[in-house]
RNA sequence: GCCCAGGUGGCGAAAUUGGCAGACGCACCAGACUUAGGAUCUGGCGCCGUAAGGCUUGGAGGUUCAAGUCCUCUCCUGGGCACCA
């Protein structure tokens, strides 16, 4: 049989389809493995990134299957989202039909040719009512748990997409999708109280020992825990207090002002007490500014109010009372939205003080000997306190504790922890998403849709609905106008849809029990299959998706739905596939289309190539030069094996007595190589595994091409070894291996139903090994010794070696080191 | 500024606990077979050197019989976060 990739792969693909080879029986969970790659958005264009990520989950799935695990390797579609809607507007196609046809295209044309071992029985689609019904249920659960709320707040508004963005979707003040400058708008928004889980999300980062470290770092950055102190400054004029948050309570006696954010509630109070057009206009313009503008203006801005507030320890402070300022460098929704301005020891406060000529008080010095003087810049390190009343001469760390303690005692503050994580804004003013199951009744107010009425189905968008260039649920009157579930009076539905990150925050649970019509999933089954044993995806999802996924899992646990609190045991972050240093993109015209590569070189060649060389977790530059040589390797491997197997068709494969086998060297290569391959696959060193397959093949083909005088039983042994070899390399070259296995070892054979080859331990190590002899740390000779040589035996061989003799001649030997199986080092004088 | 990842031949890279640096592959070179080669096979291939030999894992120190690997300092590249108090 001659290798023809299209013929081989076509045949194997149709067999998989016919036999439903990759079905997972979730009831068999005592030895389970859940291998999951982040499901795709059905854009209609599969790219090399998809090939990489699904190949990784597939390799892992196939390997674990051979090792006797019941493997769940599902696939589905993250189908809601903007591109469908934009396509609808642009091409006048319904978002649902656009999505459906893309799914069809990707499933049957684009993601098919690799022979991935997906169990399509578990397929799901987040835009299908039988899925989003449960996304809506999840929303109602949040509501029940008091974890969902609607609040008027400043939200990130993308003027191009005409929608609110989550903080995670704002990159340096720009929309993550189209780069538009994000504006601030005051709107009523649905939020999930993810901040209630901030401490757990933070603490449990420690449990993620099998996560890619950079993914943990991204989360840590995002949640950002800060331990500090809330300090109250009383505002006597307004009979109120300003609470500031600081991590540096030790700098309390350097305060020259208190600065509040333009969003701070006290602003209104100040204005109503003493109206000031200047303050009003400053605040208004600051609020209008986008986050970028606020950040970009290098110079600090601010305005002094007529209000003063009192220092909590007036007796020791440089100023008993300081002015309250409004400054837009203070962030409204971080900490308390107010800071104490300590120019001497905070760079931002220093700039602010410089600009407005505020006094700089020096209260921390590096050490006692330090001569204080005019600070040229803020000293922000820890140090020793000065000019701080009774706290002078304390070290910063001690002072923070003591000052906090005393503030608490006086009722002027508290120790506190803040997180940078903000509540999750889950509403989107878009059509193609999961409708929020909420009804607004004039009489009863905000009424959740009763569970029995779920799903709240998304109406079908007709061409006429798309004419004004925007799709919005508000346009669908039949949808909007409904009856109140309580009083049955006229009412209106919520027209926002849910952030698609909510859809994808629980899909991994649903895969396990995707046909359940009574519940989102059966807790017992999910408990037996999760956490996910191997989750693959890009680092770009480490912040948003992964944090929501963890949050929802913890929420489910608190609701008694699952018994674990982290969803992912092992998170593998695959690198990016670039082209010429740039991310592949349609606009750059540098997209390499996987289907074309598969047509030319074959699925095995592509798979083998993408796993080779560059470790899967590192970014790579796509280069199709190397793929041809992979195809040639596969062809050579296939044809040589096939030629040999044709000549021994009549011989029954039988391992037999290996000690009698003629080619003993092959046995060492094969069993040694297979056991290393096993370890590499276990440790996710896929590029090394590819190299190992090359070595195994080189050694096997060399043997096959030099065979002579083999007995029938030798051939039987060799044939059985080839079968073992095929099963193992089938993890990396499934088509080739499956074809040869079926052709020469029985049509009923299937890689996926095989088991990892039995090793023969006698061939894992050799009797004689070669070790290096160093003299003064430099390699001078290589000697052959018996594996278990004693020190004396090994040294005797070493000292007998010509090169060793030459090097130590006439020198004094100071020390002899023998590390069994590793090395000999002889230390000589001079 | 903070956090993370990385730096090894012409290239992608490999190297259990510190123990023969460069596995495997690409590219290249030489040869064989061929009408032909973008096919196949054989051999070579870190750098300097005719050789003997010397040098070599971004750089500088250190620990050690022994360092790509451990410690201290430092430079560079990629990525994330960022007026977060």
Average pLDDT over residues A674-679: 94
Q: Count of H helices and E strands in chain A? A: 26, 35
Q: Which residue is nearest to nucleotide B1 (CA to C1')?
A: A347
CA of A625 to C1' of B11 (A): 12
Q: What are phi and psi of A390, to 5 degrees?
A: -65, -10
Residue A467's pLDDT band (cuts 50, 70, 90)? low
CA A473 to CA A482: how far, in whole Å?
13
pLDDT of residue A76: 97
The angle subtended at Cα A435 by Cα A433 and Cα A439, nearest 5°, is 160
pLDDT at residue A617 greater than cutoff 70: yes
Using C1' positions and the CA of A176, the closest nucleotide is B80
Nucleotides of B under 7 A from a protein CB: 2-5, 12-16, 19-21, 23-27, 39-42, 54-55, 65-67, 78-85
CB A319 within 8 A of CB A336: no
Alpha-carbon gap, residue A63 to A79, rounded angstroms:
30
Q: In what order do the strands lie in the sheet with A582-583?
A: A582-583, A577-579, A620-621
Q: Is A778 left (phi over 0), alpha (psi -120 to 50) or beta?
A: beta
User: Which nucleotide has its C1' atom closest to residue A336's CA?
Assistant: B85
Find the residue closest to B78 using CA and C1' atoms.
Answer: A619
pLDDT at A73 over 90: yes
Place of tokens 């007529």: A306
Range with the largest mean pLDDT of A20-24, A137-141, A385-389: A137-141
Handedness of CA A714, A717, A723, A728 (dihedral sign): negative
Nearest nucleotide (C1') to alpha carbon of A807: B53
pLDDT for A91 equals 80
Expressed in angstroms, the distance from the first to the final Cα of chain A is 66
**B61 C1' – A691 CA distance, angstroms?**
38
- Is the peptide bond preceding residue A371 cis, with omega within 30 degrees of 0? no
Q: What is the pLDDT of residues A572-589, one digit of tens each?
A: 999 988 876 555 555 555
Cβ pair A195, A422 in contact under 8 A: yes
Nucleotide minimizing C1' to CA distance for residue A693? B24
- Rg, C-alpha atoms of chain A: 34
Spanning CA of A620 to C1' of B46, the rounded length in angstroms is: 24
More confident residue, A660 or A174: A660
Question: Which amino acid residue lies closest to nucleotide B23, measuring CA to C1'?
Answer: A691
Q: Specify the pLDDT at position A465.
A: 67
State the pLDDT confidence band at A463, using cuts at 50, 70 and 90. Answer: low
A433 or A809: which leads in pLDDT: A433
B45 C1' to A613 CA distance, Å: 19
Residue–nucleotide distance: A497 CA to B83 C1' (Å): 33
Mean pLDDT on A629-650: 93
Confidence tier at A805 by pLDDT (50, 70, 90): confident
Separation in Å: B6 C1' and A212 CA = 14
pTM: 0.93
Q: Among residues of chain A, what percentage have pLDDT more than 90?
A: 68
Upstream peptide bond of A531 is cis (omega within 30 degrees of 0) = yes
Nearest nucleic acid nucleotide to A777, CA to C1' distance: B66
Strand partners, A154: A186
Residues A57-80, mean pLDDT to the nearest whole number: 96
Q: Considering only CA atoms, which residue is closest to the C1' of nucleotide B21?
A: A779
Q: Is the pLDDT confidence value at A298 over 80?
A: no
**Residue A294's closest CA among A343, A271, A338, A327?**
A327
Residue A589, pLDDT score: 58
**Cβ distance A122 to A514 under 8 Å?**
yes
Question: CA at A822, C1' at B32: how many angstroms apart?
Answer: 40
| String of DSSP letters for A742-798 | HHHH-TT--GGG--PPPP-GGGTS-SEEEEEEEETTEEEEEEEEETT--HHHHHHHH
What value, to the nearest 5°, has the Cα angle with vertex A432 and ends A426 and A435? 50
The residue ranking higher by pLDDT, A757 or A160, is: A757
The yes-or-no verdict on residue A590 having pLDDT over 70 is no
Pick out the nucleotide with least CA–C1' distance to A823: B19
Q: What per-residue confidence (pLDDT) applies to A546?
A: 95
Residue A536: the pLDDT is 95
Record the tokens describing residue A111, joined without a space: 């993601």
Q: How far apart are CA A439 and CA A140, in angstroms?
A: 12
- A334 CA: nearest nucleotide by C1': B84
> A178 Cβ partners below 8 Å, 6+ apart?
A158, A160, A161
Inter-residue contact A32 to A24 (CB < 8 Å):
no
Residue whose C-alpha is closest to residue A616's, from A585, A577, A582, A578: A577
Is residue A164 predicted with pLDDT exceeding 90?
A: no
Residue A824's nearest nucleotide, by CA–C1', is: B19
Which residue's CA lies closest to nucleotide B14 at its C1' atom?
Answer: A688
Report residue A292's pLDDT band, with 50, 70 and 90 as the boundaries. low
Distance A541 CA to B51 C1' (A): 59
The interface predicted TM-score of the complex, written ipTM, equals 0.94
Mapped onto helix, strand or coil, the DSSP state of residue A374 is coil
Q: How far is the CA of A382 from the C1' of B63 (A)?
A: 32
- Distance (Å) from CA A775 to C1' B65? 9
Give residue-wise pLDDT tens across range A385-416. 999 999 999 999 999 999 999 999 999 999 99
Give me the CA A742–C1' B40 separation in Å, rounded.
28
How many Å does it take to go from CA A232 to C1' B46?
67
Question: Quick check: A248 and A280 in contact, CB under 8 A?
Answer: no
pLDDT above 90 (res A742): yes
Coil, helix or strand at residue A385: strand
Task: Identify nearest nucleotide to residue A300 by CA to C1′ distance.
Answer: B83
Give me A575's structure tokens: 């690198």
pLDDT at A362: 93
Q: Would you say the C-alpha torsion A299, A302, A303, A305 has a positive or negative sign?
A: negative
Which nucleotide, over all strands, has the C1' atom closest to the CA of A418?
B84
Per-residue pLDDT tens over the stretch A469-513: 667 888 899 999 999 999 999 999 999 999 999 999 999 999 999
Question: Quick one: which residue's CA is nearest to B85's C1'?
Answer: A246
Give distance CA A340 / C1' B85 (Å). Answer: 8
Tokens, residue A195: 């901040």
Q: How far is the CA of A94 from the C1' of B61 (A)?
A: 68
Q: Please give the protein residue whose CA is closest to the C1' of the nucleotide B4.
A: A214
Q: Measuring from the CA of residue A613 to each C1' atom, give the nucleotide at the shortest distance.
A: B12
- The protein residue nearest nucleotide B13, judged by CA to C1', is A613
């Amino acid at each position: 049989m001659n290798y023809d990739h299209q013929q081989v792969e076509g045949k194997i693909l149709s067999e998989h389809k016919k036999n439903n080879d990759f079905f997972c029986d979730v009831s068999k969970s005592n030895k389970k493995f859940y291998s999951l790659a982040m499901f795709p958005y059905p854009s209609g264009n599969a790219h090399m990134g998809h090939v990489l990520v699904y190949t990784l989950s597939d390799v892992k799935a196939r390997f674990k299957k051979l090792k006797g695990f019941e493997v769940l390797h599902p696939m589905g579609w993250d189908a809601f989202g903007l591109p469908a809607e934009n396509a609808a507007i642009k091409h006048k196609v319904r978002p649902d039909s656009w999505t459906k046809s893309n799914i069809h295209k990707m499933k049957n044309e684009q993601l098919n040719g690799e022979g991935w071992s997906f169990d399509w029985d578990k397929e799901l689609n987040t835009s299908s009512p039988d899925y989003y019904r449960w996304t809506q249920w999840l929303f109602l659960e949040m509501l029940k748990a008091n974890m969902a709320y609607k609040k008027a707040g400043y939200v990130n508004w993308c003027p191009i997409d005409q929608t609110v963005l989550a903080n995670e979707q704002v990159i340096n003040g720009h929309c993550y999708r189209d780069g538009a400058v994000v504006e601030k708008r005051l709107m009523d928004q649905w939020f999930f109280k993810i901040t209630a889980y901030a401490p757990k999300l933070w603490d449990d980062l420690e449990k993620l020992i099998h996560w890619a470290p950079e993914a943990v770092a991204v989360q840590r950055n995002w949640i950002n825990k800060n331990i500090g102190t809330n300090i109250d400054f009383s505002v006597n004029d307004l009979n109120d207090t300003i609470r500031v948050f600081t991590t540096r309570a030790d700098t309390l006696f350097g305060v020259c002002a208190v600065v509040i954010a333009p969003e701070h509630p006290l602003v209104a109070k100040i204005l109503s007490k003493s109206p000031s057009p200047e303050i009003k206009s400053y605040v208004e313009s600051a609020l209008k500014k986008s986050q970028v503008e606020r950040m970009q203006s290098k110079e600090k801005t601010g305005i002094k109010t007529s209000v003063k507030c009192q220092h909590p320890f007036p007796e020791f402070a440089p100023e008993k009372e300081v002015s309250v300022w409004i400054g837009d460098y203070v962030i409204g929704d971080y900490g308390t939205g107010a800071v104490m301005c300590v120019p001497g020891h905070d760079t931002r406060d220093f700039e602010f003080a410089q600009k407005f000529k505020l006094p700089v008080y020096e209260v921390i010095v590096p050490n006692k000997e330090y001569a204080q003087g005019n600070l040229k810049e803020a000293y922000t390190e820890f140090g020793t306190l000065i000019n701080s009343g009774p706290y002078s001469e304390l070290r910063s760390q001690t002072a923070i504790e003591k000052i906090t303690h005393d503030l608490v005692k006086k009722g002027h503050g508290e120790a506190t922890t803040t997180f940078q994580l903000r509540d999750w804004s889950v509403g989107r003013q878009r059509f193609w998403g999961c409708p929020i199951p909420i009804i607004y009744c004039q009489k009863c107010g905000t009424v959740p849709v009763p569970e029995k009425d779920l799903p709240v189905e998304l109406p079908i968008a007709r061409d006429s609905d798309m004419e004004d260039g925007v799709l919005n649920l508000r346009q669908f009157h039949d949808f909007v106008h409904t009856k109140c579930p309580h009083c049955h009076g006229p009412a209106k539905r919520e027209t926002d849809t849910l952030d698609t990150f909510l859809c994808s925050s629980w899909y991994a649970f649903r895969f396990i029990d995707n046909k359940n019509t009574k519940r989102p999933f059966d807790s017992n089954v999910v408990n037996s299959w999760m956490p996910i044993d191997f989750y693959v995806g890009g680092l770009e999802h480490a912040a948003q998706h992964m944090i929501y996924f963890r949050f929802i899992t913890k929420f489910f646990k608190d609701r008694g739905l699952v018994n674990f609190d982290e969803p992912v045991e092992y998170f593998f972050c695959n690198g990016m596939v670039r082209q010429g240093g740039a991310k592949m993109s349609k606009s750059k015209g540098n997209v390499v289309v996987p289907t074309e590569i598969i047509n030319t070189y074959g699925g095995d060649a592509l798979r083998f190539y993408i796993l080779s060389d560059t470790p899967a977790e590192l970014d790579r530059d796509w280069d199709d030069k190397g793929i041809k040589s992979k195809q040639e390797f596969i062809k050579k491997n296939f044809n040589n094996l096939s030629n040999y197997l044709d000549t021994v068709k009549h011989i029954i494969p039988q391992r037999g007595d290996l000690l009698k086998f003629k080619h003993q060297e092959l046995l060492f290569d094969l069993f040694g190589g297979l056991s290393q391959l096993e370890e590499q696959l276990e440790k996710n060193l896929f590029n090394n595994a590819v190299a190992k397959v090359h070595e195994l093949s080189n050694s096997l083909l060399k043997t096959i091409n030099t065979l002579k005088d083999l007995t029938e039983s030798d051939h039987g042994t060799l044939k059985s070894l080839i079968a073992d070899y095929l099963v193992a390399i089938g993890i990396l070259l499934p088509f080739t291996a499956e074809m040869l296995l079926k052709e020469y070892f029985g049509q009923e054979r299937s890689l996926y139903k095989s088991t990892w080859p039995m090793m023969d331990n006698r061939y894992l190590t050799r009797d004689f090994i070669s070790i290096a002899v160093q003299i003064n740390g430099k390699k001078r000779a290589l000697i052959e010794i018996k594996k278990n040589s004693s020190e004396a035996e090994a040294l005797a061989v070493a000292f007998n070696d010509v090169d060793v003799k030459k090097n130590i001649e006439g020198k004094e030997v100071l020390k002899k080191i023998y590390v069994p199986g590793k090395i000999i080092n002889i230390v000589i004088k001079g």
